[in-house]
Structure 1
């Protein structure tokens, strides 16, 4: 402990001592001071009790007890000041240690970001984003072209009307040509007049064949 105490007043300091070790040492010193304060407070109470007991019967003893009480109170006040300084040092070291650890963590994060970014620059980022936007616009144009129905081109309505008129005329001409080849319709009376004539001709032919057969048999 003496070596540690001397190191704070010009002695050779251990370069390996960390802030955490210093905080531990200070807290141990604070515990010793607290125990010393408890002892002094107990001694003050005892001396005060003796002074009261001898205040009437033995003034010399009472006065001596008050002097010892006063000395203990003075030492207790000094310890209180020392304890306050140690507590301030602990707070300062804890803050400094927290700051150091925070800075170390931030440095590690910075190194990690630098490793991730590598040779990345804003110009490269802008160029990449420009290419991405260009490809996105191209994809939208392609999708729009695919979704739109295919156009057959402009149609001339007058031309369609003329073509339809030609088709109608051709159809009428075909119908007229077909009507010319249809036989003329004969009246019912004409058919009735020709029918007896055909029957007479058939009968004459049969009689002629019969006569020829009879002649052949008689020979």
Structure 2
């Protein structure tokens, strides 16, 4: 039982000490800004009062004029003193306004830095459980899996069936065209076919050479029969 009263007593004394320490340390930025705004409002009200007094004294001076020079001069003197006070208040307001703006900017900068500090701590906390080496390994695994996926895509898109040599197919196509040409020439007049060359080779095809020899032999036999 004796420990709890001592504990709370110590807490209250420490709390009062901390409050006393804060009071000796000076007001906060917000408190100072609030006080400066109150001072600005008070001086602004006094400005309005002095301007009205100046108008009144000027009216009094105009009223007396040369008829009562003494009263008119007294009014102008009071007017001059009021104008001096008004000028002083204008300078004081400028100084207070500058001080208040500087304090507001300092307070804003302090809050910005504080929030940036919070953000830095949060970022540090987020990165505590992150290992750069593990991240590198993860990125390497991702790259490897992307390569595997690309290989699979290439394999799937590859056409099925047998593959043929395109040059051989072109040669066969040329032979077929040559045969069609020879047949068309024969049907037109029985003339011997004109030898042609294969592309890209300049040598005639074997089938065209055999056909040409057979036609030459037929021509020779016809000449021999005429000579008998």
TM-score, L = length of structure 2: 0.55
Deviation string for 1:163-214 (max 9, x for gaps)? xxxxxxxxxxxxxxxxxxxxxxxxxxxxxxxxxxxxxxxxxxxxxxxxxxxx
Q: Counterparts in 2 of 1:19-98, with a 5 A limit?
A: 19-98=29-108
Q: Distance in 2 between matches of 1:20 and 1:101?
A: 12
Deviation at 1:77, TM superposition (A): 0.3
Q: Distance in 1 between matches of 2:26 and 2:88?
A: 32
Q: Distance in 2 between matches of 1:25 and 1:124?
A: 56
Higher relative contact order (Cα pairs below 8 Å, separated by 6+ residues)? 1
Partner of 1:99: 109
Q: Distance in 2 between matches of 1:123 and 1:85?
A: 58
Q: Distance in 1 between matches of 2:157 and 2:24?
A: 79
Partner of 1:113: 123
Deviation at 1:128, TM superposition (A): 2.6
Deviation string for 1:110-169 (max 9, x for gaps)? 1111111225465544333222111211232234335546789x9xxxxxxxxxxxxxxx
Q: Distance in 2 between matches of 1:15 and 1:151?
A: 90
Aligned partner of residue 25 in structure 2, secondary structure:
coil
Where has structure 1 moved over 4 Å in runs of 4 or more? 121-124, 146-152
Q: Counterparts in 2 of 1:198-217, with a 5 A limit?
A: none
Return the index of the structure with the highest Cα Rg.
1
TM-score, L = length of structure 1: 0.58
Q: Distance in 2 between matches of 1:123 and 1:90?
A: 52
- Cα RMSD after superposing both structures: 2.7
Count matched residues.
143
CA gap 1:13/1:33 in 2 versus in 1, 3 angstroms: farther
